[in-house]
């Protein structure tokens, strides 16, 4: 039975990257939430950092939409599931609006806009541009008849005379309204580092920049016009009733002593490890696990858990703090030797090695894996990955091809392959050495590839099954 969901929505896109999409999106979210609206943010692509900011500003967990990894129906279901109870849904695009992985634009922001039938708010960097803006807007408006450019935001406008010329050119030659003009100014810039913006949870002082952006958006953007655009779009059809996402009730370590659930998976979530897709955590809960939050910086040891999930992040930035917590590192290494199931992605792989070398300094890590990691200036792996599962790899059946993505400025050095085994053959991407990704040691699987549970739904079931099995071996009937 089909359902129609009336969800006001729009996608913030741009002709190219570095046009100011994130800044405009953050400002728009701040201005909308300041009006008391419930705003559901989404991010096109598999980025972790931008969503952390969108989540912080909107007060609702940002979700990723990626048409390369996710089926069209999965994207629509994900969008409806998380937006149906919001007043408006805002999707931040990535790269140029029509930029994808091939000539047909597969995986582009425009493709996501078509799947969820959202109008596009086009952000144009108007630096050193006047009348040419009309040609650019018309080109984007007419390139794909299935993509509707609903409005234009002029960004990096120099002065009032510049703005007047830009508005006049679009009014004269285009059938697209201007819905705001953001002035040039470094006060609207959010600091970044080697993998993009600094994560929102890492430096509270950076929220001042976001507040300034929100105030500017409320002043310089046509919020009423943007709302009218989003609300004027027809309902979105769903092929079935789509329930909201499962709620995660994070356990405190002390709760495990009072009434311990059947299967408990620890998640290291602190300033070092913050790259987690919310759907991955929800999938673990749906598979029967209870989750407990752990800090590798502050906790002296692991709580009573049956499995451990270590996501990506910036362990090199907090390497000194991680090294200083020796009791936690020693306890984790001991538990790994006892067979604790551990799934570690990117930063997690780095943490499980012996040392991290960065900026002429070296820091001791867990030492469970026979390798060291070196930070370099250029990305060693960046983009989508296709991996073939090798025999004996937990969490996935042998021969299966899984998709994901990698983005890392680190490389593995000093690997002793005789003390562990590779888990995947790389069909696309780089991984550990261009040929293989993922290392197996006892019940540990550590890899550079990041998966998304929407595209790999079996992962959580395998993980929970392994955790439950390991617990039974420790506490036989």
Catalytic residues: 346
Please tell me the distance from the alpha carbon of residue 472 to that of residue 127, in angstroms, as a whole number. 63
Please tell me the distance from the alpha carbon of residue 197 to that of residue 190, in angstroms, as a whole number. 7
Angle at which helix 160-173 crosses helix 132-143, to 10 degrees, equals 40
CA 250, 253, 259: angle at the middle one, nearest 5? 85
Whose CA is closest to 212, among 454, 7, 67, 31? 31
Whose CA is closest to 209, among 459, 83, 355, 22? 22
User: What's the token pair of residue 152?
Assistant: 């234009």
User: What's the token pair of residue 175?
Assistant: 């059938």
Cβ atoms of 366 and 351 closer than 8 Å = yes
Q: Where are the alpha helices (DSSP H) in 84-189?
A: 109-115, 132-143, 160-173
Taking the mean position of all CA atoms in its chain, how far away is CA 108?
A: 16
**Length reported for the chain:** 477
């Amino acid at each position: 039975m089909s359902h129609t969901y009336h969800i006001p929505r729009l996608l913030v896109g741009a002709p190219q990257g570095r046009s100011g999409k994130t800044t405009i999106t953050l400002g728009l979210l701040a201005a909308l939430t300041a009006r008391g609206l419930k705003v559901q943010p989404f991010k096109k692509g598999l980025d972790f950092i931008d969503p952390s900011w969108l989540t912080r500003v909107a007060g609702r967990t940002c979700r990723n939409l990626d048409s390369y990894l996710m089926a069209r129906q999965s994207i629509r279901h994900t969008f409806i599931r998380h937006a149906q109870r919001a007043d408006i849904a805002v999707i931040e695009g990535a790269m140029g609006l029509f930029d994808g992985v091939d000539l047909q634009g597969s995986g582009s922001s425009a493709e996501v806009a078509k799947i969820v039938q959202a109008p596009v708010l086009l952000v144009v960097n108007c630096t050193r541009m006047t009348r040419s803006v009309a040609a650019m807007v018309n080109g984007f408006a007419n390139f794909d008849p299935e993509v509707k450019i609903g409005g234009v935001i002029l960004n990096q406008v120099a002065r009032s005379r510049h703005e007047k010329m830009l508005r006049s050119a679009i009014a004269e030659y285009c059938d697209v309204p201007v819905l705001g003009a953001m002035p040039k100014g470094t006060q609207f810039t959010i600091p970044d580092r080697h993998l993009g913006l600094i994560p929102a949870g890492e430096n509270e002082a950076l929220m001042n920049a976001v507040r300034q952006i929100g105030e500017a958006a409320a002043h310089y953007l046509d919020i009423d016009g943007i709302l009218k655009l989003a609300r004027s779009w027809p309902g979105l059809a769903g092929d079935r009733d789509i329930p909201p996402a499962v709620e995660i009730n994070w356990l405190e370590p002390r709760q495990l002593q009072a009434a311990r659930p059947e299967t408990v998976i620890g998640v290291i979530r602190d300033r070092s490890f913050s790259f987690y897709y919310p759907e991955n955590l929800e999938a673990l809960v749906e598979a029967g696990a209870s989750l407990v939050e752990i800090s590798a910086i502050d906790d002296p040891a692991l709580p009573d858990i049956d499995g451990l999930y270590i996501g990506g992040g910036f362990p090199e930035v907090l390497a000194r703090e991680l090294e200083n917590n020796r009791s936690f590192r020693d306890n984790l290494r001991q538990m790994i030797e006892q067979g604790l199931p551990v799934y570690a992605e990117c930063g997690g792989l780095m943490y499980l090695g012996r040392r991290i070398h960065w900026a002429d300094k070296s820091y001791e890590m867990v030492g469970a894996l026979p390798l060291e990691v070196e930070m370099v200036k250029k990305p060693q792996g960046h983009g989508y990955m296709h991996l073939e599962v090798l025999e004996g790899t937990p969490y996935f059946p042998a021969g299966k091809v899984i998709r994901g993505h990698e983005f890392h400025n680190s490389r593995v050095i000093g690997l002793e392959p005789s003390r562990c085994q590779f888990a995947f053959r790389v069909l696309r991407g780089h991984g550990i050495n261009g040929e293989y990704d993922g290392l197996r040691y006892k019940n540990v699987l550590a890899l550079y590839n990041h998966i998304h549970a929407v595209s790999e739904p079996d992962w959580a079931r395998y993980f929970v099954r392994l955790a439950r099995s390991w617990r039974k071996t420790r506490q036989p009937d």
